[in-house]
Amino acid sequence: MRTERSHTRLDRVFARLDREPERPAHVGMPRMSRHRVVLLGATLAFYAAIVWAVVATSWLVRLDWQVMFFRPYQQWPELHAFVDYYVVLGQRGPTAVMVAAWLGWRSWRQHTLRPLLALGVSLLLLNVTVGAAKYGMGRLGPHYATEIGSNEMWLGGDIFPSGHTANAVVTWGILAYLASTPRARRWLSALSAVTSLGVGLSTVYIGTHWLSDVLLGWVAGLLILLALPWFEPLIARAEARILAVRDRLRDRRASKAPVPAPAGRPVVVRPLTERADPVHEPVPAGRVARSPVYLAPGPHTSRAERSPVTPAGSRRPQHTDRHPRGTTPAPRP
């Protein structure tokens, strides 16, 4: 009786991973549509309004000081341990490693480098734009504030906008940007929004950022995601160049490899006498090569039957008890 093994859920998962990757044809690249351009312009205007409100020391700065004096970490101390771990979701290193691992697997499955290149371009834009704004405005954080009610601008700080918040928006939002289906894009957009919202509020709870820092961080990250379709042609050209370099290296490696003989090819064996040139064995270093020895045709005697001969005769001593071959020795008395 023949029995077949029943495959478990884990076996089916590994069988799916072992299949040949295929790039789905329905995955399209986002384009800068009119709706997206309008949304980008509105977000940029909101970014400028937040900066102006802080520079002018408006009601937003007063709200920052009120939240700072409220000290949320003292009002709800039981949340401090959880918030210390949750805020890691906004740090650049751990989040980039996690998201890059997932997008690397997607790149292998879809036979394209676009997911990894899109992540690299978005992180580069994040470092340039947010870093320039941080050091350009030089705002001090709540723990280093010098004057109550002041906006703490241009004092050598690097807190405005919040880098944790902007990084959370970009790093987790890129998953929704690269989603393959509209349903997945909606779910991932909601997940990234909740995650980045929690990261921003966590920094306010700990006291490392003003509330306005978090607002500007959200807007800065959203601007990068909205402007990313403008860089899609650059991503496509970079992918084509990388794949072209890979193909050239592969062809060069294949040309240097020895070509094996085709199977089934007949091998012609010739006698030694029909060879045009004698085959000489290689002589080791330190030894003098000797000229080849040619034997005359005809029967040859063995080494035991040859004796050294000199012009004076044979040097082999005479033995009376030896007899030529083919004769019968005389019986001894």
The DSSP string of 106-124 is HHHHHT-SHHHHHHHHHHH
Two tokens, residue 90: 């906004």
Torsion of CA 75, 76, 78, 81, to 10 degrees: -100
The C-alpha atoms of residue 134 and residue 50 are separated, in whole angstroms, by 14
Q: Which residues of the chain have pLDDT under 70?
A: 1-29, 257-333
Cα gap 160→136, rounded to integer Å: 9
At 132 the pLDDT is 93
pTM of the entire predicted model: 0.69
Q: What is the pLDDT of residue 3?
A: 47
Q: What is the spatial distance between Cα 300 and Cα 309, in angstroms, rounded to a whole number?
A: 17
